[in-house]
Amino acid sequence: MTDVSRVLDVADKGLEQSLDRLFDLVRIPSISTDPAYKADCRRTAERIVADLTRLGFSASLRDTPGHPMVVAHFEPKAAQGKVPHFLFYGHYDVQPPDPLDKWTTPPFEPEKRTGKDGVVRLYGRGTADDKGQLMTFVEAMRAWIEATGTLPIKATILIEGEEESGSPSLVPFLKENKAELTCDAAFVCDTSMWDAKTPAITTRLRGMVKDEITISGPRIDLHSGAYGGPAANPIRILSKLLSKLHDKNGKVTIPGFYEGVGEVPKEIKQQWQKLKFSDRKFLKEVGLSVPAGEKGKGVLEQIWARPTAEVNGIWGGYTGAGTKTVIPSQAHAKLTFRLVGKQKPEKILKAFRAFAKAEVPKDCRIEFASYGSGSPASEIAETSPLIRKSAKALKDEFGRETALVGSGGSIPIVRYFKDVLGMDSVLIGFGLNDDALHSPNEKYNLSSFHKGIRSWVRVLDAVGR
């Protein structure tokens, strides 16, 4: 029997104990955003430290201005030569469970239930986001150590307690502990599978930059009968400006917007096509039927590999009941730009503001709110040896090709690891779209937890060789 076979056997036999440990964590209401649960957040961190210490890690609780971090290290026994060193990241804090009356069972009393479809699911706040996910790699490491006495890699574990409240302590902590935390690469578990039977690795994350504009015209609201026509109307000016953001083919018209945007490699497009994603079904689920966006680009390519300019909110003038015949003195809009490739947030913001200023008449003015510098996109080459080894390990477990997918949103920790610690990340998780993250009745399929543990056993072996 090979090492991997022995380790998988230990993981399978210890599944019920693994569930017990997960449920022990879920029972602690580690809600980071509410000061009333500060002690519970600390208690969760202390429990993780104690568990990792018993497992053979050098583990410690690290205080921050907010909730504590957990840092743990494992040096493999009898290591010869250079052993790969990887960081494993997760978070122990959870979202508030409100509204409580929507939960079938209490959020912090985890329960295993079999549905009418025969699927066994684990219910409770944090079962999926992120206690269940982080416990998949912890339990895989436990199985390795119990079966062989060691790990095939050098491991550092970083588990934070403020992810659900914006991670205010994270970047300063990374900077202060850069030498200790820098590894060959990081593994992040806070992601999903393609579907319940198909594993996935997320290789593309869009960046983002935000802006808010206010267009001011007359010094006060004006009577539309007395001034309508000769007086500049800020809402008309704003509407015209926003209507010019896209051409008839859905492309963004801001000069220089597409600098740094590359084409998706042919082989990656072919792999996405094999996922048999239905654009029509995707839109139908939200009450739409006609594709928008860039012509000639499918939904997956638009979401995973193309930049966007979106208006998130627009207001001005009278919005109360009935009518009020005024020309408003101001009009406002909020916008976000999703970024890909090598687009630079600061250049996009500068280009948009120049574009917007050019649309405002001389006797009006435009002002911009400040939302910070934004963040660029993150991309890990699909040809990376770590990606290929991890994908092969997942395929060995699931019996299906691993989907290399993108994400329409962003995962800030990936950018932090790159910018502060100078290392790439591999994003492997076992969540599903119906896990109800941040909602009542959050769940994690038992198969996600079990096969997640088994998958990490295989990944640790693959990247350790």
**Are 343 and 375 within 8 A, CB to CB?**
no
Same domain for 130 and 140, yes or no, is yes
Boundary residue ending a domain (315, 337, 368) = 368
What's the rounded Cα separation, in Å, for the pair 298 and 307?
A: 13
Same domain for 86 and 178, yes or no, is yes
Q: Computed from CA positions of residues 125, 128, 129, 135, in that sequence, does the dihedral angle turn out positive or negative? A: positive
pLDDT per residue over 329-385, tens digit each? 999 999 999 999 999 999 999 999 999 999 999 999 999 998 888 899 999 888 999
Section 85-103 average pLDDT: 97
318 Cβ partners below 8 Å, 6+ apart?
Answer: 324, 326, 328
| Residue 266 belongs to some domain of the structure | no
Same domain for 218 and 201, yes or no, is no
What's the rounded Cα separation, in Å, for the pair 432 and 264?
A: 25
**Are 426 and 386 within 8 A, CB to CB?**
yes
Amino acid identity, position 34: D
Residue 439: the pLDDT is: 96
| Residue 55 belongs to some domain of the structure | yes
Boundary residue ending a domain (342, 368, 394) = 368
Section 211-229 average pLDDT: 97
| Residue 280 belongs to some domain of the structure | no
Please report how many Cα atoms fall inside a 13 Å half-sphere around the Cα of residue 301, on the Cβ side: 19
Section 266-270 average pLDDT: 91
Residue 169 structural domain: 3-205+377-464
Same domain for 126 and 254, yes or no, is no
Residue 27: the pLDDT is: 98
Residue 80: the pLDDT is: 66
Same domain for 7 and 148, yes or no, is yes
> Could you tell me how many residues make up the chain?
465
Residue 407: the pLDDT is: 92
pLDDT per residue over 12-65, tens digit each? 999 999 999 999 999 999 999 999 999 999 999 999 999 999 999 999 999 999
Closest CA to 53 of 28, 72, 38, 35: 72
pLDDT per residue over 229-247, tens digit each? 999 999 999 999 999 999 9
Identify the residue whose tokens are 């209490």: 106
Domain with residue 149: its CATH number is 3.40.630.10
Number of domains present in the structure of the chain: 2
Same domain for 25 and 171, yes or no, is yes
Closest CA to 3 of 186, 140, 137: 140
pLDDT per residue over 99-125, tens digit each? 999 999 999 999 999 999 999 999 999
Residue 445: the pLDDT is: 98
What's the rounded Cα separation, in Å, for the pair 401 and 396?
A: 9
pLDDT per residue over 402-450, tens digit each? 999 999 888 889 999 999 999 999 999 999 999 999 999 999 999 999 9
| Residue 294 belongs to some domain of the structure | no
Domain with residue 236: its CATH number is 3.30.70.360
| Residue 257 belongs to some domain of the structure | yes
Q: Are strands 120-123 and 326-327 parallel, antiparallel or unpaired?
A: unpaired
Strand locations in 357-407 (E): 365-368, 378-379, 403-407
Boundary residue ending a domain (350, 368, 386) = 368
Same domain for 249 and 352, yes or no, is yes
Same domain for 43 and 181, yes or no, is yes
Same domain for 342 and 432, yes or no, is no
Same domain for 45 and 172, yes or no, is yes
| Residue 219 belongs to some domain of the structure | yes
Residue 1: the pLDDT is: 62
Same domain for 118 and 62, yes or no, is yes
280 Cβ partners below 8 Å, 6+ apart?
Answer: 289
| Residue 284 belongs to some domain of the structure | no
Amino acid identity, position 410: S
Same domain for 418 and 341, yes or no, is no
Encoded tokens for 61: 């609780």
Residue 409: the pLDDT is: 86
What's the rounded Cα separation, in Å, for the pair 430 and 90?
A: 13
